[in-house]
Structure 1
Amino acid sequence: MRVTFLGTSGAVPTVERAPSAVYLNREGDEFLFDCGEGTQRQMMRFGTGFGVSHLFVTHLHGDHVLGIPGLVQSLDFNDREAALAIHGPPGSKRHLRELVHAAGHDPGFPVTIREERAGAVALSREEYEVRTFATEHRTSSVGYALVEHDRKGRFDREKAETELDIPPGPAYGKLHEGQSVELDDGRVIDPEQVVGPPRPGRRVVYTGDTRPVDATVEAAAGADLLVHDATFLDEASDRARQTAHSTAAEAARIARRAGAKRLALTHLSSRYAGQARRFEREAREAFDGEVFLPDDGTEVEVPFPDAE
C-alpha cells in the first residue's frame, strides 16, 4: 500500500504546498482523499497517474474540492471511459454535482455521487472496507478509514510435511481455507494443526479538517498510518478552536490515545511557511510513535503489521 501526499497546505496554498489531496494505492486500487485546486497537476508531477476510481471528500470547503472540475475535465481530455465514484458528507451531493459539471462541462464517462453518513461503510470489497467516521468542523464533514480484513494465518508447510506426514497437494489448500481433511490412512487433520492465527490487515485513516474528537480515536485504533489535521501550533490553540482545526500537539494526543503507529501532520497553515520542523517537535512531545510532516510529493509505504 502506497500513500502519496499531493497537497499538504492549509486553506491558503504556498509556493511549496498545494491544497489538500492525498492519493492511496492499495494493491492497484487507486483512491483520492480530497481534491484541492490543481490536484490533477500534482498527480502528473508526482507520478500517481489518473487511475483513481473513488474520490472521498471530507467536506465542501474550497481548498478540499475546487480541484474537482479540473480533475474531471483532465480525465475527460484523456479519453477516460471508466466510472468515477465521488463520496461526500451529508448534504454535499448537489454541490459536488455542480463541481463535476462546472462551466457546463458534461463528462464523457460515468460519474456517480454518494452522500456518506458517519459510521457507514462507503466502499466494501472482499479484502477491505472504506469506513466513515464523525469529525468536527464548521460544516458537514466526515473522515475516512481504509481498513483491511484479517488475512489467513500462515500455513506451516514444514510441520505438515515432516511432523504430520501430509502429502503435498490439494489437502494443503483446503486446510489453508479452513477445511478439515481426511487422509488416506484415516487420520483427520484440522486447520488449526497447521495454520496459524489470522494476521491483521492494514489501517490508514484520514481526518480532513477537524477538531480532535473521540470518533477519530476509535476509527484509528491501532492504525498503521493516521493522517490528521495539524493546522496550527499550540501557541495558536485558541485560533484552532475558533476555526475548528487541530494543533500538532492535539493531533499527537489523538494518535497516542488510538495507539497509532505513524502520524502524518497535514493542512499546515500558510503562516508557518518554512517552519515544518516545529510541528514535528511539538507532536513528538505528546506521541512516542513515528511523526512526520509530509511535503507535497512525499510518498510512504504502509507495510503489513507482521512484515519481516
Structure 2
Amino acid sequence: MSLRVTFLGTGGAVPTTRRNTSSVFLRREGERFLFDCGEGTQRQMMRFGTGFGVSDVFVTHLHGDHTLGLPGLLQTMDFNDREADLTIHVPDGTGGRMRRLLDAAAGHQSFPVRIEDVAAGDTAREGDGYEIAAFETDHDTRSVGYVLVEADRKGRFDRERAEELGVPVGPMFQRLHAGEAVELEDGTVVDPEQVVGDPRPGRTVVYTGDTRPRDRTAEVAAGADLLIHDATFATDNADRARRTAHSTAAEAAELATQADAARLALVHVSSRYAGTVAPLEREAREAFDGEAFVPEDGDELEVPYPDPSPESESDADSGPGST
C-alpha cells in the first residue's frame, strides 16, 4: 500500500520565489489529506498534480501562512462542483475563528464543510488500518501537530512451512493467516503460530507545524519513518528561534535523534535562506545519523514500510493462497 508525501509549501511566513508558505499533501492509497494550507496552496496543488480531492485538512494553528490558502481552495472546489464533504481540523478552541475566516473570505459552499476542534491526544480521523491524532506543540498561539500511525500488519505467511505440515493450498492458508487454527483430513491441527510470523509494524509520519522542540514530539515520533519538523533557522539565529517559538535545524535534528526517526524533513524555512539551505542541512546532518534534508516545493517522497523484504508489498498483500 503506497504512502506518499508531496511538499507543497516548505517556506516560512514570508514566501520566496522558490518556496511557498506551509502545506503538505499526503496520499495513502486512495485517500488524500492536506496538512496546513498557506496562501497559494491551490496553485501548488495544480502545479504539482496532486488534485483537489482531499477529504480532510489538518490545520496546526491559525497563523495566516498556514490558513490563508483555505478560502481560495474552497472556492475552487465549489466552482468544480464538488459534492463530497470536507472536514477541517483545527486546534481546540479555534473553530469559531476558522468559521469566521471562511465565511468572510470564501462565502457559501455548495458542499458540506465541517470544522472540528481537536485537542492534543484526540484522534482527528480514524480509517481502515490507520489513525491521525493530534499532539501538543509549543508555538506562540494555540497549536497542535499531527501524527499518522498505521496499525500493525499481519505477520508473513510461511507457505513452505505450511506445505511441510500438510496444509493444502487454498482456503486453509487464508484462515491460518487470519489467525484461525485449521484441522487437516488426518485430524492434525495446525495453529497460526506455526506458519505466521510476528506482526509487522505499519508506518508513522509526523508533522509538527510551527513549534519549539518538545519531548512530547520525540515521544510521538518514536521510531517514525518520517518526521517533518519546523526548522526555521540555523543555530546562529537560535535566540530568534526561541523568541518566535520556532526551532533551529540542529534542534530538529537532535529531536529526531532522540526519537530514533528514520528520516527528517526540515520545513518552514526562513526567507533569509533563499539563496542556500546548506547551513540548515549541514547542522542537521551533524546532529542526526539518519537521512536529513530540506525538501524543495514539489518534492515527492514515498514512505516505505520499515521492514524491507525480498518480496514486494503488492506480492505480500496478494495473500498466502496465491499461485
TM range (shorter): over 0.9
- In the alignment, structure 1 segments of 5+ residues that lack a partner are none
Counterpart position of 2:208:
207
More divergent stretch after superposition (279-288 vs 93-102): 93-102
Counterpart position of 2:92:
90
The answer on whether the counterparts of 2:166 and 2:184 sit within 8 Å (CA) in structure 1 is: no
Q: 2: CA distance between counterparts of 1:173 and 1:101? A: 52
Matches within 5 A, 1:191-206: 191-206=192-207
Give, as a single letter, the amino acid of the residue that structure 1 aligns with 2:265: A
Give, as a single letter, the amino acid of the residue that structure 2 aligns with 1:212: P
Q: How far is the alpha carbon of 1:51 from its aligned partner? A: 1.0
Q: 1: CA distance between counterparts of 2:287 and 2:274? A: 23
Compared CA separation, residues 270 and 31, structure 1 to 2 (3 A): same
Counterpart position of 1:31:
33
More divergent stretch after superposition (167-176 vs 284-293): 167-176
Matches within 5 A, 1:122-161: 122-161=124-163
Deviations 1:1-60 (A, max 9, x none): 110000011011111111000000011110000000010110000000111000000000
Give, as a single letter, the amino acid of the residue that structure 2 aligns with 1:201: G
Q: 2: CA distance between counterparts of 1:155 and 1:212? A: 41
Deviations 1:235-254 (A, max 9, x none): 00000000000000000000
More divergent stretch after superposition (117-126 vs 21-30): 117-126
Counterpart position of 1:235:
236
Matches within 5 A, 1:55-204: 55-103=57-105, 105-161=107-163, 163-204=164-205
How many residues are aligned here? Answer: 307
Structure 1 position 11 matched with structure 2 position 19: no
Q: State the superposition RMSD in angstroms.
A: 0.9
The answer on whether the counterparts of 1:68 and 1:99 sit within 8 Å (CA) in structure 2 is: no
Q: How far is the alpha carbon of 1:218 from its aligned partner? A: 0.7
Sequence identity percentage: 66
Q: How far is the alpha carbon of 1:272 from its aligned partner? A: 1.5
Q: 1: CA distance between counterparts of 2:173 and 2:225? A: 31
Structure 1 position 289 matched with structure 2 position 302: no
Q: 2: CA distance between counterparts of 1:268 and 1:103? A: 27
Q: 2: CA distance between counterparts of 1:127 and 1:4? A: 21
Counterpart position of 1:253:
254
TM-score, normalisation: structure 1: 0.98
Q: 2: CA distance between counterparts of 1:274 and 1:176? A: 54
- In the alignment, structure 2 segments of 5+ residues that lack a partner are 310-323
Q: 2: CA distance between counterparts of 1:243 and 1:111? A: 32
Q: 2: CA distance between counterparts of 1:158 and 1:79? A: 53
The answer on whether the counterparts of 1:137 and 1:210 sit within 8 Å (CA) in structure 2 is: yes
Q: How far is the alpha carbon of 1:181 from its aligned partner? A: 1.1
TM-score, normalisation: structure 2: 0.94
Aligned with 2:238: secondary structure? Answer: helix
Q: How far is the alpha carbon of 1:104 from its aligned partner? A: 6.0
Counterpart position of 1:49:
51
Counterpart position of 2:223:
222
Q: How far is the alpha carbon of 1:102 from its aligned partner? A: 2.9
The answer on whether the counterparts of 2:223 and 2:261 sit within 8 Å (CA) in structure 1 is: yes
Aligned with 1:200: secondary structure? Answer: coil
The answer on whether the counterparts of 2:228 and 2:267 sit within 8 Å (CA) in structure 1 is: yes
Q: 1: CA distance between counterparts of 2:191 and 2:106? A: 63
Which aligned segments of 4 or more residues in structure 1 are displaced greater than 3 angstroms?
none
Q: 2: CA distance between counterparts of 1:4 and 1:102? A: 29
Counterpart position of 1:2:
4
Aligned with 1:76: secondary structure? Answer: helix
Deviations 1:259-305 (A, max 9, x none): 00000000001111112121110101110000110011011000111
